[in-house]
């Protein structure tokens, strides 16, 4: 699927470009990062992953707000960033965003228990923090 198909299927919608909303979305990402760090410190690694994804989701949404786009699906957000920010956002961020999107879904809705290791949660915190910085550079 590509961005045009996401618009056609209603996964993405046109809106007014808004740097203000973009900055607020960055603030939301930073707030989620602080929660993710607290859950990590409390050794609740599953929630660290869920909140780490929320960090990347809100940071990613900031790019859409800047461009005048609203996501109606997490998948649409991933496709938009993958396609429209290729070369501007490191591929590792795009790939990690998609992996986390799927892992978060499984953690929240799956029936099988998944054990998250400390090192995985720690890696997610670093990637999420770096992703915020990368998005901030683009927005500013």
Question: What's the pTM?
Answer: 0.91
What CATH number did the domain enclosing 33 receive?
Answer: 1.20.120.330
- The structure tokens listed for 94 are 């795009």
Residue 39 lies in a domain: yes
Residue 75 lies in a domain: no
Residue 35 lies in a domain: yes
Let me know: does 85 contact 95? Beta carbons within 8 Å: no
**Statement: residue 93 has pLDDT above 80:** yes
**Statement: residue 110 has pLDDT above 80:** no
pLDDT in tens, 49-76: 999 999 999 999 999 999 999 999 999 9
Which domain covers residue 127, as residue numbers? 18-65+90-139
78/112: higher pLDDT: 78
pLDDT of residue 38: 97
CA angle 68, 72, 76 (to 5 degrees): 85
For the chain, what is the mean pLDDT? 93
Q: What is the domain count for the chain?
A: 1
Query: Which phi and psi angles does 12 have, rounded to 5°?
Result: -135, 145
Residue 111 lies in a domain: yes
Residue 72 lies in a domain: no
pLDDT of residue 98: 87
Residue 13 lies in a domain: no
**Statement: residue 10 has pLDDT above 80:** yes
Residue 3 lies in a domain: no
pLDDT of residue 108: 78
* Cα dihedral sign, 11-16-17-23: negative
């Amino acid at each position: 699927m590509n961005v045009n198909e996401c618009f056609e299927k209603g996964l993405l919608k046109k809106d007014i470009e808004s740097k203000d909303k973009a900055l607020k979305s960055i603030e939301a990402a930073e707030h989620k990062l602080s929660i993710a760090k607290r859950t990590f410190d409390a050794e609740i690694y599953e929630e660290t992953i869920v909140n780490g994804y929320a960090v990347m989701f809100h940071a990613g949404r900031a790019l859409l707000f800047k461009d005048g786009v609203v996501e109606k699906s997490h998948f649409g957000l991933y496709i938009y960033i993958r396609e429209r920010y290729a070369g501007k956002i490191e591929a590792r961020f795009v790939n990690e965003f998609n992996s986390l999107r799927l892992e978060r879904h499984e953690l929240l809705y799956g029936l099988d228990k998944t054990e998250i290791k400390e090192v995985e949660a720690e890696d997610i915190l670093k990637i999420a923090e770096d992703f915020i910085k990368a998005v901030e550079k683009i927005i500013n």
